[in-house]
Structure 1
Amino acid sequence: MSTELKLSAFKLEGDLISDAVLNARGRTIAWDAWVKRGILTDDEAQSLKRIEDQTSLTDRAQVVLNDGPAYATKLISILSKAGHKDIVRFALVSLIDASVVTGSELPGHVLSTSQIDSSLPYLPLSKLLSSDDEVTRYLSAYILTILLTNDNDSHKNHDALLLELFDLLSVDLLSNTEVSVQYIGIQLLKELLTIKEYRTLYWEYEAKYFPNLLKVFKDFKGELQMKYQTILAVWLLTFSRKSITDINNKYPDLIGALYNVAKDAVKEKIVRLAIGALVNLLNIDSNKERVVKQYLLCNGLETTKQLIDRKWADEELKSDLNVLLETLNEAVSILTTFDEYENELKTKKLVWSPPHKSDEFWYENLDRFKENNWKLLKELVSLLDLPDLDQEQSYQNEAIVCFDVSQLIKVAPESAKALNKIGGKAKIMSLMTSPNSNVKFEALRTTQQLVAHTL
């Protein structure tokens, strides 16, 4: 897939600013009063009134487009004065309405104001990013995004402005508890990430920006379109060696989250992006075996097989699924079951992988569990004391620890005494009152074995 998805006429979706925008389009403003106060020139006021006098959004945009160069200069000049918020909003909305018309040349005209003053058009718009008015901040971010994704000359020359914009989108908006605010941030961020140079700059500050995007991605609140926009932003970030390496090292949870999206998504376009990102993340220069193990720990092989069995229209999606299947099948044939089990202990997130339920595994690897005074048993029991796991993973760890201890007692009854010495018996017995039925069942069964072998 191409990573250059430049969408110069994208339209911001969502209800958060709709009332304010409609206000800006439809509210009757006393332009003469602003002229008398010296906030607008008579020519500026007449130009804005010509827009206001139109009854439809299409006609308003057309007024601006009919005299694009002049309106670009006037609207930017008005914004440079940063006058009353009603005027600022009206000017911003007028710019946006005319910019998102298919084939609009207005962004180019606005960018050409730099020939009048090199600080234009970006300086006045960047100042509005810190406005006290929430709607003004969002609208200025919107038009800045349109301009930056249309400005070929700026791709390497506006780092400070981009970082200011990334701060607003990735820190303020994506960390907001309101889904509608997050949606604005996702839409604008996704547009900026279609530009390679902007992705590179964004990833230089990934520790500051990416965790909020990842959280929104994993929480997946909101409507289908927000899900698509979010995964598109994540997918775009998987096209550089640096981000791939960092994601695999610092954010391995993304792999499981992508598989969950692919498995549960109704729309093929969302599945395509999730699988595409998973394929991209395998293009790592080093430690690929460790990365592939993470795919297997997320039940990736089984999920990939299930997805292949579904009917897809997209040939690239089919191809990517086959690449995943081939890679994971090859890994399974190479990795030993003990490697798989040991990796689970290291990640501290157990899954119901084949080693747990294989009697042969426990007989074949008993000596490894006995080594260093039952070191692996201690590591296993320590998984019952992890405070930072989400509830679902915590329950899964507890159930599997209980099950594994019961498997170990079957092949080595003396392990019950070793477990008692490290306090594991008391911890397992306490789980018999767990609110989770699976944990309660496994704890009860294992406690019965412990009691039988420690009497």
Structure 2
Amino acid sequence: MLAADKVKTAIVQKEDVLASGEPSPGAVSLIQNELIDQVKLLIITHPYLDDMLQHIRNTNIPWEEYKDCGLISVNDLAMIRHVENKTVDELGPIMSEHGLYYAALYLELMQKVARVDVLQKILVLIHDMLEENEERILLFHKAGENVTGFPLEPFHKALTIGDEFIGIQASKILTLLISTTHHRDIDINDIFRWMTFQLQNPRQHVIDLNVQILNALFHIPEYRRAFWNTTHAIDSLVSNLKRAQERHLGPQEIYELSFTIWLLTFDQEIAKQLDRKCCIIPTLVELAKTTVKEKVVRVIIATFRNMIEKAPNENLPAMLVAKLLPLCEHLKTRKWTDPEITADIVFVDDALKETSQSLTTFEVFASEVERGMLQWSPSHLSETFWKENAQRLNENDQRLLKQLTRLLILSESAAVLAIACHDLGQYIKYSGPDGRRYIEGLGAKQRIMELMTHSDPLVKYHALSATQKYFSMV
């Protein structure tokens, strides 16, 4: 079983403890130990980070010069020299005896130093202190107990330095600190705003590491919603998943991105709004269709199950439109090593079949329009459908009519443009005298006439047909 999968049970258990009210001291200790174990399982690492750690570890810092100019004290210098270039095994007895003093030293230096080379070195020293001994992070909590803003503030400050390594390593340690306290009054918003920009970085290793950090933070339920509410955060995350093929991402990167989405869908409000905001269901369906890795299919199907369990009305119609049902039928024929996959596939398949039998034709049509996934399904081509439902495009302040117009204006897909022209032509034909006025008021008439010269013959044909219907209503 993969490390990330082992965490599933721990997530549920931890949330049960936290939901019971203010934890007792014993429960706090239990939560901390469990969270440390979870962060161990979700190791935040990357070859780039390993190379940078080694490079900085081998870089000589002129500590004596910094002592002479008052940047560090004589005692600071002695403590640094005592641990610098030590192996993990050599650091063991030192940290067992003096770990609390080193945690206090590192926090103080992180807070008062602004030099990039010194901050990089201190972050490497902290990394080496915690390497294979993540429980030592509790020493930083203890060392910062009597100092306002500690132990988090020095690492928040480091995020503003502008150095790539400092940003990644500081956010990694911040994540470990945040994940090992039961306090939820932490200002997480600054971190998520910073990470939103990191998710837009052109360097793939920066994105990969920040996704791993999110996977650790999202084990805390409150922080899923905080990320969701951060401006452009979810869009930045989902855009990386949507560009997976374009950026030639490997299965591991796709898995980690999908795992992040899976964690978010444990929040009911996020599960309700995620597809409407980001149109993520078609992306996940396509990734599940094209991947050969079982773990990618596992996390995507688990995400669909979450979305169905948390918000069936919002997600099941979109899943039908995205052709998830035939994919489930195909996946049911494959052999899986993990029985959970089979159970999840059967659950999703059954829910989709039940929904397909209960949804009206208009509800399926509305789901297509709302998500911009127009296809030549029977409803578009049925005269009976338009006779019965054309007026319904005016419901809810003309929501569907406005969305069709929006697709007509913004879409670059020839198929979507052709269907939108066809549908608006049918709306004009069957909506009565007001339909023509509404079409003109929304700007659809001008756009339809522009599309009469489109390079695609089907778009041109349906634009011409809609124009003829428009003028026949004069």
Under TM normalisation by the shorter chain, which class is it?
0.7 to 0.9
- Amino acid of the structure 2 residue aligned with 1:49: R
Residue 198 of structure 2 corresponds to: 173
Equivalent residue number for residue 86 of structure 1 = 117
Q: CA deviation at 1:83?
A: 4.9
How far 1:105 sits from its partner (Å)? Answer: 2.9
2:74 is equivalent to residue 34 of structure 1: no
SS at match of 1:251: helix
Partner of 1:365: 385
1:192 and 1:381 map into 2 onto residues whose CA distance is 38
| TM-fit CA distance, 1:176 | 2.4
Distance 2:454 2:73 in 1: 73
Structure 1 residues 429 and 309: alpha-carbon distance in aligned structure 2, compared to 1, 3 A threshold: farther
Match of 1:240 among 255, 259, 267: 267
Is 1:155 matched up with 2:182? yes
Counterpart residue number, 2:102: 71
Aligned residue identity for 1:272: R
Higher mean alpha-carbon deviation, 61-70 vs 34-43, is at 61-70
Q: Which amino acid counterpart does residue 240 of structure 1 have in structure 2?
A: D
Secondary structure at 2:309 match in 1: coil
Secondary structure of 2:375 counterpart: coil
Deviation, structure 1 residue 113: 0.6
Displacement of 1:26 after TM fit? 0.5
- Paired residues for 1:439-454 under 5 Å: 439-440=456-457, 443=460
Of 333, 341, 347, the residue aligned with 1:317 is: 341
Tell me: CA distance 1:352–1:65, structure 2 relative to 1, closer, same or farther (3 Å): farther
CA shift at 1:123, angstroms?
2.4
Cα deviation, residue 356, structure 1:
4.7
2:223 equivalent to 1:198? yes
* 1:150-180 deviation line (CA, Å, top 9, x unaligned): x2xx3334422x22212211x2211223322
* 2:27 paired residue number: none
Residues 29-428 of structure 1 aligned to structure 2 (within 5 Å)? 29-54=61-86, 58=88, 62=92, 65-67=95-97, 68-101=99-132, 103-115=133-145, 117=147, 119-149=149-179, 151=180, 154-160=181-187, 162-169=188-195, 171-203=196-228, 205-220=229-244, 221=247, 222-247=249-274, 250-251=276-277, 253-284=279-310, 288-356=312-380, 361-362=382-383, 364-365=384-385, 367-368=387-388, 383=404, 386=407, 389=410, 391-392=412-413, 395-401=414-420
8 Å contact from structure 1 (residues 263, 303) kept in 2: yes
Matched-pair contact (CA < 8 Å) for 1:174–1:182: yes
The answer as to whether partners of 2:449 and 2:467 remain within 8 angstroms in 1 is no
CA displacement, residues 219-270 of structure 1 (integer Å, 9 cap, x when unaligned): 224333222221111111111222223325x426122222222222222112
Distance 2:52 2:123 in 1: 12
Asked if the contact 1:369–1:375 (Cα under 8 Å) also holds between the matched residues in 2, the reply is no
CA deviation profile, 1:112-135 (whole Å, cap 9, x unmatched) = 213453543222222222224343
Q: Distance in 2 between matches of 1:192 and 1:182?
A: 15
For 2:331, the aligned partner's letter is: L
| Matched letter for residue 117 of structure 1 | V
Instruction: Give the Cα separation in 2 of the matches to 1:45 and 1:350.
Output: 67
- Equivalent-residue separation in structure 1 for 2:223 and 2:66 (angstroms): 39
For 1:342-375, what per-residue CA distance to the aligned partner results, in whole angstroms no more than 9, with x for missing partners?
A: 4434544312434456xxx44x435337769x98
Report the Cα offset of residue 390 of structure 1.
5.5
**Mapped partners of 1:367, 1:104: distance in 2:** 67
Residue type of the partner of 1:245?
K
- The one-letter amino acid paired with 1:34 is Y
Q: Secondary structure at the match of 2:280?
A: helix
C-alpha distance in structure 2 between counterparts of 1:148 and 1:244, whole Å: 24
Native 8 Å contact 1:341 1:355 kept in 2: yes
Which amino acid is the alignment partner of residue 233 of structure 1?
Answer: T
1:383–1:397: 8 Å Cα contact kept in structure 2?
Answer: no
Alpha-carbon distance in 2 for matches of 1:159, 1:176: 26
Q: Give the drift of 1:284.
A: 3.9
Instruction: Supply the AA of the counterpart residue of 1:230.
Output: L
Q: Distance in 2 between matches of 1:396 and 1:63?
A: 68
Aligned AA (1:72): A
Q: Deviations for 1:280-335, whole angstroms, at most 9, x for unmatched residues?
A: 112346xx445321211111222222222222222111111111111111111122
Shift of 1:15: 5.4
Superposed displacement of residue 64, structure 1: 5.8
For residues 272 and 430 of structure 1, the distance between their equivalents in structure 2, rounded to whole angstroms, comes to 46
- Aligned residues of 2:57 and 2:85 also touching (Cα < 8 A): no
Structure 1 alignment gaps of length 5 or more: none
Query: CA separation in 1, counterparts of 2:265 and 2:314?
Result: 18
The CA distance in 2 between the partners of 1:65 and 1:9, in whole Å, is 23
Give the direction of change, closer, same or farther, for the CA distance of 1:337–1:61 in structure 2 (3 Å limit).
Answer: farther
1: CA distance between counterparts of 2:402 and 2:148?
65
1-structure distance, mates of 2:162, 2:425: 62
Compute the TM-score of the two structures, normalised by the length of structure 1.
0.78
Q: CA deviation at 1:191?
A: 1.0
Q: Secondary structure at the match of 1:7?
A: helix
**What is the distance in 2 between the residues matched to 1:315 and 1:292?**
23
Structure 1 residue 207: Cα displacement: 4.4
What is the letter of the counterpart of residue 440 of structure 1? P
| C-alpha distance in structure 2 between counterparts of 1:20 and 1:74, whole Å | 23
